[in-house]
């Protein structure tokens, strides 16, 4: 067996557009460990190239999971995050890692939903943000949680979140 270290395969060159962002501080394009808690997760932001235009960005996380802080049983939700960017956009890989950090985190539905909205708002300082947490039933009762930062910018169309209320089998 050879004792010389193997060379790492050459990486493909970054595109010009990405290199202009200086991704060195971002998780995007890098191997990163899954964060073990929401407090340890890093949310990345990137400059908004359309900062002079009001528009809506939507992230959908249909398989969000966390743990009940009392029983330790898993809770499941469909999250919808809508925001009107200001100077910054939320980088989606960092959002994915942040959302995944809740898998072993014990918190009530309301706390998870509102905490995610507040954390994103603090990081990217959007003109407006709302989050809808559509939680699947626990104990036979579905819980839907909604939070937003303020009023929608004037003249902007905000689509419905489109998540049907829980109906069971009926």
Domains in the chain, number:
1
Residue 117 belongs to some domain of the structure: yes
Rounded distance between C-alpha atoms, residue 138 and residue 124, angstroms: 33
CA nearest to 66, candidates 28, 30, 110: 110
> pLDDT tens, 102-141?
999 999 999 999 999 999 999 999 999 999 999 999 888 8
Q: Which residues pair with 138 in a beta bridge?
A: 141
**169 falls within a domain:** no
CATH code, domain with 89 = 3.30.1130.10
At 167 the pLDDT is 75
Q: Are 135 and 68 in contact (CB under 8 A)?
A: no
The pLDDT of residue 20 is above 90: no
pLDDT of residue 32: 82
Q: Within a domain: residue 162?
A: no
Question: Is 158 among the domain residues?
Answer: no
DSSP state of 37: S
H-assigned helices in 25-126: 92-100, 109-124
**SS3 state of residue 66:** strand
Q: Which domain holds residue 138?
A: 16-148
The catalytic residue positions are: 68, 75
Residue 161 lies in a domain: no
Separation between Cα atoms, residue 41 and residue 99, nearest integer Å? 9
Residues whose CB falls within 8 Å of the CB of residue 75, separated by 6 or more in sequence, listed in order: 65, 66, 67, 68, 109, 112, 135, 136, 138
- Residue 20 within a domain: yes
| 167 belongs to a structural domain | no
Cβ contacts of residue 50 below 8 Å, gap of 6+? Answer: 85
Do the domain assignments include residue 166?
A: no
pTM for this predicted structure: 0.83
Which whole number is the average pLDDT over 92-101?
Answer: 96
Maximum mean pLDDT: which of 2-16, 31-45, 69-83: 69-83
Mean pLDDT value across residues 1-18: 43
Q: What is the mean pLDDT of the chain?
A: 87
Q: How far apart are CA 156 and CA 159, in angstroms?
A: 10
């Amino acid at each position: 067996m050879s004792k010389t270290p193997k060379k790492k395969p050459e990486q493909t060159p970054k595109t010009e557009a990405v290199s202009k962002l200086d991704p060195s501080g971002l998780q995007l394009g890098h191997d990163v460990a899954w964060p073990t808690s929401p407090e340890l997760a890093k949310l990345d932001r990137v400059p908004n190239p359309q900062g002079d235009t009001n528009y809506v960005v939507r992230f959908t996380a249909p398989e969000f999971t966390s743990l009940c802080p009392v029983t330790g049983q898993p809770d499941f939700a469909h999250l919808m995050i809508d925001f009107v960017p200001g100077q910054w956009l939320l980088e989606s890989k960092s959002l994915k890692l942040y959302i995944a950090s809740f898998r072993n985190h014990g918190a009530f539905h309301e706390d998870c939903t509102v905490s995610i909205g507040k954390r994103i708002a603090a990081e990217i300082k959007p003109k407006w943000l709302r989050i809808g947490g559509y939680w699947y039933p626990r104990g036979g009762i579905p819980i839907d949680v909604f939070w937003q930062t303020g009023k929608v910018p004037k003249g902007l169309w905000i689509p419905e979140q489109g998540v049907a209320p829980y109906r069971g089998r009926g």
